[in-house]
Amino acid sequence: MTNTQPDITDKYAAQAGMSRYDFLEFEAFASKVDREGYSYAVENYGPEFESEALRRTADDSQALRALYRQHRPLVDAWWAEAGAAVACDLHNAHVDEARQRKEDARLWGISCTDGYVITCDTQEYRDHWAADMRETHREGWRMPAALLSRTVPGGEWTEDSRF
């Protein structure tokens, strides 16, 4: 990727009145619309914006459709100017960043015997999943070693209990 590519994204984000992250989130949503159709993309892959105003827009079906219609041409122009290879790299990097943000935001986890940490949205889900893993253990599958929690997103894990 060349050094000018971030400027291309920033230019289109500014035209849309969005942060760089939100523009790339919108682009990722538009890509899902292309592959899955608008209704399915909204139901299963709705954009998760940083901006509070854009989050409210995403929660309102008419407002999201209007946003999509208004800014979809910018996504197409961005793809054309950046080029497919660069646009794809930026898209994939954004998807990875969004996924990592979700993982970091989770306050509950399961430490497995192989060192892998499974993150969970709630304590109840974590506890249920860990119990289910232990009950249905199969050779070669991960086994829980400890239940984890953290007090802040992305913070250090603390063991709540060991198995």
What does the pLDDT read at residue 139?
87
What does the pLDDT read at residue 1?
42
What does the pLDDT read at residue 45?
94
pLDDT means per 10 residues in the chain (163 residues)? 64 97 97 96 96 97 97 97 94 94 95 96 96 90 96 95 87
Compute the Cα dihedral for 59, 60, 65, 69 and give only its sign: negative
**What tokens appear for 81 in the block?**
């100017």
Instruction: Tell me the CA distances in angstroms from 45 to 2, 13, 32, 160, one per residue in order.
Output: 30, 20, 7, 33
* SS3 labels along 105-151: HCCEEEEECCCCEEEECCHHHHHHHHHHHHHCCCCCCCCEEEEEECC
Domain borders along the chain are: 5-103, 106-162
Order of all β-strands in the sheet with 158-162:
117-120, 108-112, 144-149, 158-162
Strand partners, 109: 119, 148
**What tokens appear for 127 in the block?**
């506890």
What does the pLDDT read at residue 5?
53
Give the global pTM. Answer: 0.78
3-state DSSP: the chain helix, strand, coil percent, rounded to 5?
60, 10, 25
